[in-house]
Structure 1
Amino acid sequence: MSQDTVGILLNSSMYRGIPTRRTGQEWIAGYEEAAQEYGLSPVFLRLGGISPAGDRCIAYVYNGIEYVEQRLPLPAVIHNRALYPQLAAQKKLQSLNDRGFTIFNANNRYGKDYIHRLLWNTPHLRAYLPAAMPLNSESLRRMMSRHPDLILKPIRGSVGHGVMRLRYTPPSGWELTYASARGKQPWHTVRLQRGELPPWTRRMLRSTPYLVQERIPLAEFEQRPIDLRITVQRGSGGQWGVTGRFAKVAAAGSFVCNIAKGGEAQPAEELLAKALPAEIVPSALAHVENLALEISRHLGNRLPHLADLGLDIGLTASGRPYFIESNGRDQRYGFRKAGMSEAWKDSYRQPMAYARYLHEQTAWRRNSPKPAAE
């Protein structure tokens, strides 16, 4: 096989589904098409299939008819699409990078508190951030004294799981809204007694790290809040660029816009034209894209091998953007649900363009003349 292979690193469950094309939201054929465009041969692997020596791997390769497992040299460039929260797995990925392999997006699950702190410490970005703190009894009291509407979210959660809303509504006082475990209503709301969270919530927060964040008054469509997903990736020149964007509108009665929680994806221009004054939509979207690029460049300069992000950015009714959170493993399928098939394909194309760029950089370094010894 040619040396110009690119590895696509997947979790074990998704890896096992490759022969039957059961890979969830991951579009395996999209990698095949995009890799071919850039003269690359994709191989699909999992961390457990990499040899202890770290030089070979068991991987699925498409032979033109079906996917078959082969024992291959480990690709020099690997795009990580797996989540590895275990410390041992993270150390193995770091070891491979240290030995000269390039695994981009090797760490794709940074804590929300860590990302917030990186951005908050940058003065020109701070104005675009909601106030936020790691949640404990003291920080919660402080945030409740400053903001009447708060979001509580797991520091390492995704797709809206575990998100709660804490809101002050006069004259009844503070109330907590959380996902209902059963019943017809997806959300349940309780009033706080003496401003204290319910005992079950306090027990959960002791075991699961949470962030408490000021809730931005998002623009709404039919009384349903809206936010934007901006996919920002490194491409053929190694630079960050906006691959695409779409808007998410929450389900009726919900305060979260996540598609996995019933949110609906639509082209950003179409949805914002219904929610904002038409004359401010172009400038608001331009502001959002510039902000997304600034944030991605800033994070990319501080987080090693970062190359693929999905940023959630909210807009107020006046068109003011606010960064909500970043996703290191952008699910991408929102483009397809919004009917934006070209942007969906591009979200697979750009990582393969970046992989080709990394191969060229490696070849350039290998062939560059060595400085003469003194």
Structure 2
Amino acid sequence: MDRIGIMLDWALLEKGIHGIKSYERLPYYVEIGKELGLEPVFFHPRHVKPGDERVKGYFWNGNRLVSQLVSIPRVIHNRVLTGDAKARNVIRRLSQKKTVFNGLVVRDKRKVHQMLWKNEQIRSYLPHTVPYSMEHLRQFLNKYQVVYVKPSIGSVGIGVARIERHGGNYHFIASKKRQILSHSQIFSTVRRWVGNKRFLIQRGIPLARYGGKTFDIRVSVQKNKEKQWTVSGMVAKVANTKNKLSNLSRGGTAVPFSEALVPIFPELKQQQAVIERVGIAAVEIAEQYGRHFSSLADLGMDMGIDERGNPYLIEVNVRDQRYSFFKAGEKEMFKQTYRHPLEYAQALLTEKKKRKHLLLAPSQWV
């Protein structure tokens, strides 16, 4: 049985060592891996020994993770969400010696937007986005009803502020904060909110609603056994009415995407057409991102649709936490998000074996 490396955050590994369940379903890797002839080795970059050939790996024994010193697998799926400089350096070194997919990539939302904007075919999916400045904020507030101010690097809705224009006043909504501010107050409030950090400003998409609340869509886009981008699943995330955020950790709720579409598009054909449009957009976006970072193979996109079903990209996550599928009861999709990366890893291993066989084969020339 071939081994496949799965790099995880230490907090997740620690839970696994104590047999505590987390959003990362370790038994799924083992179960699907067994079907494919793969044995997962879980580890953190800091467990790699000097020389980058051996690692203190962890194996699932049915109840918890147990450690064993082993050779580093030839193919590694990087699932590390948080990494210090030392961990990043290890991943960088491993990427030169092994095949590490979803390696180190640019996560700055502004830079990602610039990369995607280069492709005219996908520009219609991209909401107007600019680097934060007072002048840009002034322009956006004059032009759009809803504006988002968000960190250039960040996740799970932390640091995101929503500004809604209501007549001469503005509603400033962020985390547990909700204020009604005048024209002059909004600028000083945003200035304090941003501080000296890097932020961007984005037009708020006129999102479709479910049960009176706006929703966006988490789309899992992954490479499959044919090494092609494919959609593994879609799920609707319904916003919390207090902070207007759909992130599950911020009070949002997950429902099947098809269920969220029914009130807006009652006919099955309409629903299928919207699902197809979102899927096509997600794959096109993944392909463009992948042109800049060839190691990419596992993305979680936050997308939105308007009342007509037009798709828009909100942001791309390079480490999809996947649990929104579980929360929505989409168990098959949830499992598929584990299967596709393992099938992709198997394809990479097969390719490596063929290449090695060709190199070792005796010359056919006489």
Please identify runs of 4+ aligned residues in structure 1 that moved more than 6 A: 370-373
Change (3 A) 1:215 1:16: same
Question: Counterparts of 1:337 and 1:77 in 2: how far apart (Å)?
Answer: 30
**Alignment match, 2:51:** 53
Q: CA deviation at 1:91?
A: 2.7
State how 1:78-157 maps to structure 2 within 5 Å. Answer: 78-99=76-97, 101-107=98-104, 110-157=107-154
Moved more, 358-367 or 11-20: 11-20
TM-score w.r.t. the length of structure 2 is 0.93
State the percentage of identical aligned residues. 32
**Alignment match, 1:184:** none
Match of 1:166 among 163, 166, 179: 163
1:232 aligns with 2:229: no
CA contact (8 A) 1:276 1:317 kept: no
Match of 1:31 among 29, 32, 52: 29
Q: CA deviation at 1:303?
A: 1.1
1:340 aligns with 2:340: no
Match of 1:147, as an amino acid?
Y
Match of 2:293, as an amino acid?
L
Deviations 1:322-354 (A, max 9, x none): 111111111111111111111111111111111
Change (3 A) 1:87 1:146: farther
Match of 2:312 among 322, 326, 341: 322
Change (3 A) 1:257 1:62: closer
CA contact (8 A) 1:83 1:108 kept: no
Question: Counterparts of 2:234 and 2:113 in 1: how far apart (Å)?
Answer: 22
TM-score w.r.t. the length of structure 1 is 0.91
CA contact (8 A) 1:109 1:328 kept: no
Matched residue SS, 1:194? helix
Q: CA deviation at 1:51?
A: 0.8
Question: Counterparts of 2:14 and 2:125 in 1: how far apart (Å)?
Answer: 42
Matched residue SS, 1:44? strand
Question: Counterparts of 1:142 and 1:252 in 2: how far apart (Å)?
Answer: 27
Match of 2:23, as an amino acid?
Q
Question: Counterparts of 2:63 and 2:82 in 1: how far apart (Å)?
Answer: 31
RMSD: 2.1
1:7 aligns with 2:5: yes
State how 1:223-372 maps to structure 2 within 5 Å. Answer: 223-278=212-267, 280-369=270-359
Deviations 1:340-370 (A, max 9, x none): 1111111111111111111011111111258
Q: CA deviation at 1:296?
A: 0.9
Change (3 A) 1:161 1:109: farther
Q: CA deviation at 1:192?
A: 3.6
1:74 aligns with 2:63: no
Matched residue SS, 1:248? strand
Give the length in aligned residue pairs. Answer: 362
Match of 1:150, as an amino acid?
V
CA contact (8 A) 2:17 2:66 kept: yes
Change (3 A) 1:295 1:316: same
Match of 1:272, as an amino acid?
L
Q: CA deviation at 1:20?
A: 2.0
Matched residue SS, 1:161? coil
Matched residue SS, 2:272? helix
Q: CA deviation at 1:267?
A: 1.1
CA contact (8 A) 1:176 1:189 kept: yes
Deviations 1:224-281 (A, max 9, x none): 1011111111111111111111111112344222111111111111111023453632
Q: CA deviation at 1:23?
A: 4.9
**Alignment match, 1:42:** 40
Change (3 A) 1:273 1:192: same
Match of 1:219 among 198, 203, 208: 208
CA contact (8 A) 1:192 1:198 kept: no
Any stretches of 5+ residues in structure 1 without a counterpart? 181-186
Q: CA deviation at 1:318?
A: 1.1
CA contact (8 A) 2:162 2:174 kept: yes
Match of 2:263, as an amino acid?
K
Match of 1:27, as an amino acid?
R
Question: Counterparts of 1:252 and 1:145 in 2: how far apart (Å)?
Answer: 25
